[in-house]
Structure 1
Amino acid sequence: MVTGTDKKNYRIVISGYYGFRNSGDEAVLRSILLALAEQGEANGVQIQPIVLSADPAWTSRMYGVEAVRRMYPKDVLNALRASDGLISGGGSLLQDATSAKTIPYYTAIIKLAQWLGKPTFIYSQGIGPVNRRWMDPLIRSSMRKSAYVSVRDAESAELLKRIGVAAGRIEVVPDPVMGLPLPAGAAAGRAVAAAGEAAAVPVLGVSLRHWRKDGADLGRAADALAELASRRPVRLRFLPFHTPDDAEASKVVMERLSGRLAGGSSAELAAPGDDPQQMLLEVSRCDALFGMRLHALIYAANQMVPMLGLSYDPKIDQFLHRLGLTPVGTTEQLDPIVFADSAQRLLDDANGWKEEHREAIERLRQQSQQPAQQIAQLLRHTISR
C-alpha cells in the first residue's frame, strides 16, 4: 500500500442515474464510491469524486462528495474541464427501453469528456436492450475511445461485440452492489421479534414495481402471495426500492390481499429511508425475497438471502442466470401454485439454497472490486495529469 507523499490526487466525475433516490441506483453509487476509496488507498491514488446528480445538495449530504446538476450543460462542462477523467456507470444506462433520450444523454457525457481529452471509464454497465439501430454508432464510438470498459453480464458484452466493440476491450464483472457492505455496526440476519410466536413466522421480502398499465402483473403477484399465505403463516414485508412509485405498487398489492391472508399471516410496508445500506439491512433480515427490481435480487444475493425473481426485463433473467437460477414467472405469466411451491421450498430449506449458490455468490462478491481496481491502477500508472 502506498501512503503519505507518494499518493496522487485525481478528480473524477461520475455519471449515472443519481440523485433520484432510487435505492438500486443509489446503492450503485455508494458501492462505487466505497470501492474507489478502498482500491485508491491500495494503489496510492486519492480519488475525489464529483457526481452528476438530479439533486446535488441531497447527493452531497448523503455521500459527503461534491455534486453538480446533471442536466445543466455549463455545470457538466465545468466539472469535466476541472477533472482528471470520467466514470460512466453503473446501472442500465445505455438502453432505449425506458426512453429514446437515455442513450444520447449518457453517450454525450462520455463524448464530451473524450473531446476534452479526459480518459473515460465504463463501470459495470448493463448494455441494452437497444431497439433503435441508429444508436449503435453512439455506443460504439463511446466504448472504443474509453480507457476501460466493463459490463455486468455476458449478454451486455455480446451486444457490444455485435455493434463493433473489440471483445478484448470488454471485461465482464458483477454489478457493483454485490460488494456493498451493511451499515457500520449493523448485524445481518432476522431481527428478533418481541413475541416468540411472531419470531417463528418467516419473513418474505417483496419488491414490486408498476409495469403493465392495466396492473394485471400486480394482480397476479397478489394471487401468488395469497396462495402462499393460504398454506402457511408468512410475514410479507414490502420493500419499496423506488419511492414513491414502488410504495404505491406495494399498497395496490396489499389492498388486493386484504381479507385473503390466513391466520398468522400479515402484510406490512417497510420505510427504510433513502440510505441504500439501510435497505440492504432490511433485505438481510428477510428469510427469503420475491423480487421484481433487479437490485432487490442483487441485495438478496449480497446477503445470501434465498430469492425468487419476477422478470419484466432481460436484465432480471441475466442476473439470475449468473447464479444458476431462472425467474419464477414474468409480468405476463405467474402461476400461483408454482410460486407457492417454490417459496415454500426456500422457506423450508434456506440452508440448502445457500449451500447450492454460495460459490457463485462469493465469486461475484470478490469480482465486484475489479473495475475500481483497474481504474485506480490506470490512474496511477498510465494517465498523467
Structure 2
Amino acid sequence: MGTGNRPQVRRIVISGYYGFNNSGDEAVLRSILLALEEQGREQGVEIQPVVLSGDPAWTSRMYGVESVRRMHPGDLWKALRGSDGLISGGGSLLQDATSAKTIPYYTGVMKLAQLLGKPTFAYSQGIGPVNRRWMDPLIRGVMKRSAYVSVRDAESAALLGRIGVPADRIEVVPDPVMGLPLPAGAASADPGALRAGEPPVVGVSLRRWRGDGADLGRAAEALVALSKRMPVRLRFLPFHTPSDTETSEQVMERLRGRLGDESSAELAAPGDDPQQMLLAVSRCDALFGMRLHALIYAANQYVPMLGLSYDPKIDQFLHRLGQAPIGTTDRLDAEAFADAACSLLADREGWLAVHKPAIDELKRQSQRPAQQIVQLLRHTLLR
C-alpha cells in the first residue's frame, strides 16, 4: 500500500547491448529510460533502473542510473534477485546473424529472472533472423513466460508465431527511438531555411558488411554521382565507434578528388550521447543510411531518407513508412540513387506530405511498451 502521495518504487533490470559505443543501442536505452520515467510519473510509480552494461561506469555517468557488469554472473544474480522485474530491451537482441552466442545470452538472462520469480518484459524487440532451429525453444520458452511481449514490426511477430508464441500475447509497436527527444534546450532545425544559398547537407551512415568492401565502393560511386548532379555537403555520421569512423574514413578516401564542383565531405563527431547524434541528424537536409537507427533518427526528425539494405530489418522499417530501400549491399545503381536523392532535396515538403502521417503514428505509439509495463507493475503494488 502507498504512504500518502509518495510514489511506490520498483527496481527494474534492463538488459540489452549497452555500453559498447553503438549510438543506435544507446538511443534505445535512453528512449526506454525516458519513457519509463514519464509513464511512472503519470501512474504514480517511481522506476529505479539497473542497466546491464559492457561498461557500467560509462553507462552510470551517461544516464545517471545504477549499472552492473552484464557478463559477470555474481553481478547479474544480485541485480535480478534484488529487482522487481526484468526488461529485455529493444534492438535486434534475438538473432543469430552476428553470433551464435547472442540468443543464448539474452534468453538466458530472461530465464534466470523467471527462475527467480521476477516478471519479464520484452520491450520492442526485433526478432530474427534465426537460422539455427535449436534456438527456437530458447526464444519460445522465455517469451511464453513473459508478462508482456512487444516487437517492433509485423515480421518479428510472425517469426515468434512460427516459433510457437501465441499471437494474442504479442503486441507490435514502433522502435522506442521513435520517441527520443532532442537534447534539452535544443531546437530542431529547418534545414534548408538556415543555409540559404549553401549546398544541402546529406547525412551518410555506413557500416562495414561485405568482406570485399564492394558495397562501400558502390555507395561511394552513388555519392559521387549525386555530387555531379548538384553541390552537396556529405556529412558522415559514425553510429558505432570506432568501426563506423574507420568505414567512413575509407569511403571518404574513395571520394577524394572525385566530387563535383562545390561539393565536400566531412566526418561528424557528435560524441557518445545519442541525443547529440539525433541533433546532428536533425540538421541534415536528407540522409543516406545503412544503419537502422540512422534511418529511425531521420524519421524521428522528419528528415527525408534513402535506405541501403543489409538486413531485413532495414526493409521492414522503411516499409512501415511506405518506402523501399534504394539498394542493397549487393546492388546499388549510382544514377538511380542520384535521381532519388535529387528529388528528395528538391521537394522535402512533398516527401513530408506523403510520409509524415505514418511517422506521427509511430511516434505516438512509441510510449506503449513503457505504459503497459508500468501499468503491470502498478497492479502488482495494489494486490
Q: TM-score, normalised by structure 1?
A: 0.97
* 1:172 shift after superposition: 0.2
**Closer, same or farther in 2 for the Cα pair 1:113/1:233, shift >3 Å?**
same
Aligned residue in 2 for 1:288: 286
Counterpart CA distance in 2 for 1:6 and 1:194 is 46
Structure-to-structure mapping, 1:10-89, within 5 angstroms = 10-89=10-89
Report the equivalent of 1:145: 145
Name the aligned partner's letter for residue 32 of structure 1. Answer: I
Query: For each residue in 1:14-51, what CA deviation from the matched residue of structure 2 results, as whole angstroms up to 9, or x when unmatched?
Result: 00000001000000000000000000111111000000
Name the counterpart of 2:135: 135
| Matched position secondary structure for 1:212 | coil
Task: Output the amino acid matched with 1:286.
Answer: C
Q: Distance in 1 between matches of 2:148 and 2:80?
A: 18
- Structure 1: distance between partners of 2:139 and 2:319: 25
- Paired with 1:34 and 1:286, the residues of 2 have a C-alpha distance of 25
Q: Is the 8 A contact 1:3 1:44 kept in 2?
A: no
1:193 deviation in Å? 10
Q: Which runs of 5+ in 2 are unaligned?
A: none
> Is 2:21–2:272's contact at 8 Å kept on the other side of the alignment?
yes
Correspondence for 1:366: 364
Q: Match of 1:220? A: 218
Query: What is the SS of the residue equivalent to 1:51?
Result: strand
Taking the aligned partners of 1:232 and 1:97, their CA distance within structure 2 comes to 38
Taking only the aligned residue pairs, the percentage that are identical comes to: 76
**Partner residue, 2:264:** 266
Aligned-residue Cα RMSD (Å) equals 1.6
Q: How far did residue 187 of structure 1 move?
A: 1.2
C-alpha separation between the residues in 2 aligned to 1:313 and 1:300?
18
Counterpart of 2:365, as a letter, is Q
Equivalent pair of 1:288/1:346 in contact (CA under 8 Å): yes
2:231 matched residue in structure 1: 233
Shift of 1:382: 3.4
Deviations 1:92-115 (A, max 9, x none): 000000000000000000000000
DSSP 3-state at the match of 1:382: helix
> Counterpart of 2:258 in structure 1: which amino acid?
R
2:350 to 349, 352, 357: 352
SS at 2:17 equivalent: coil
- Structure 1 match to 2:172: 172
Taking the aligned partners of 2:4 and 2:179, their CA distance within structure 1 comes to: 27
Given that residues 192 and 285 in structure 2 are in contact (C-alpha distance below 8 angstroms), is that contact kept between their aligned partners in structure 1? no
Alpha-carbon offset, residue 65 of structure 1: 0.0
What's the CA shift string for 1:269-302, capped at 9, x where partnerless? 0000000000000000000000000000000000
The aligned counterpart of 2:155 is 155
In structure 2, the CA distance between the partners of 1:61 and 1:230, relative to structure 1 (3 Å rule), is same
Corresponding residue number in structure 1 for 2:96: 96
2:378 aligned to 375, 380, 383, which one?
380
- In structure 1, distance between residues paired with 2:186 and 2:270: 14
Contact 2:50-2:66 at 8 Å conserved across structures? yes
| 3-state DSSP of counterpart to 2:136 | helix
**Aligned mates of 1:83, 1:5 — CA distance in 2:** 23
In 2, the alpha carbon distance for the partners of 1:165 and 1:286 equals 41
Q: Name 1:108's counterpart in structure 2.
A: 108
Matching of residue 201 in structure 1 with residue 199 in structure 2: yes
Q: Structure 2 counterpart of 1:382, which letter? A: T
Q: Which runs of 5+ in 1 are unaligned?
A: none
Q: Which residue of 1 aligns with 2:308?
A: 310
SS at match of 2:90: strand
Is the 8 Å Cα contact of residues 177 and 297 (structure 2) preserved in structure 1? yes
| Matches of 1:181 and 1:4, distance apart in 2 | 32
Farther-moved stretch of structure 1 (255-264 vs 106-115): 255-264
Note if contact 2:191-2:285 (Cα within 8 Å) is conserved in structure 1. no
Q: Deviations over 1:321-343 (max 9, x none)?
A: 00000000000000001100000
User: For residue 153 of structure 1, what is the amino acid of its counterpart?
Assistant: D
Per-residue deviation, 1:263: 1.3
2:186 aligned with 1:210, yes or no? Answer: no
The answer to whether the Cα contact below 8 Å between 1:190 and 1:286 also exists between their aligned partners in 2 is no
> 2:248 maps to which residue?
250
